Structure 1
Amino acid sequence: MHDRTAQTALTEEIARTVERVPGVAFLSPGSAGPPRAARPGGAGGARTSGVRVSRPGGDGPWQVEVHLVVSHRERTADVARAAGRAARERMAELLPGQAAAARVRVTVTGLV
């Protein structure tokens, strides 16, 4: 499998995983672009609405950025921590041995 294809598949898997976390209303692309719009990968990483996965230098530790909107009925910090934990656990399943050094950052962009 081509590296870009694998990175895109990883991004999509993490997005699906995070979307299932209780309290996550939906993924958000962050500060740029229309909400919930799928976007092609930019320089250095694959991006699916609200999730960007990159690997600096092609062999450095994985970096995952998650942007999400939380239901107003939930505690924001708890949902953010659960989303980060879910992303790390899914990476560990998909990339055993590589996920331990991964950096996962979750940003809550709004409440609904």
Structure 2
Amino acid sequence: MQLSKHPVTSKNGNTYKVDVYNDGWDYLVEIFKEKQVNTLFGKNKIKFINVFKSGYYIYPEWGYDFKGMAKHAVEKYESSLKEKRERNEKLESNIELFNEWDGKC
């Protein structure tokens, strides 16, 4: 069983394609971003790039709440992007502080 929904719009306004599928007993969710590519004949074509694969959503906890699973996965993905962005900003800031340091202890 595989379910697919496009577009899925997050609270931040980003658009994704979301697939929910059964992996034996549990369910997985994959998130794709849309990318426009040019074909050899100069036509635009939409390609979906996989950007996130969730952990397992187990039946006893989630039941058949596929919409809930998809929404949770999108929120988890965007939260991970925010954390990564914050880490990179902190890293850059500390590299700048180190480079400006006069070397005195």
Q: TM > 0.5 between the two?
A: no
Q: What is the TM-score with the length of structure 1 in the denominator?
A: 0.25
Q: What is the TM-score with the length of structure 2 in the denominator?
A: 0.26
| Higher share of residues assigned strand | 2
Relative contact order, CA 8 A, sep 6+: which one is greater? 1
Return the index of the structure with the highest Cα Rg. Answer: 2
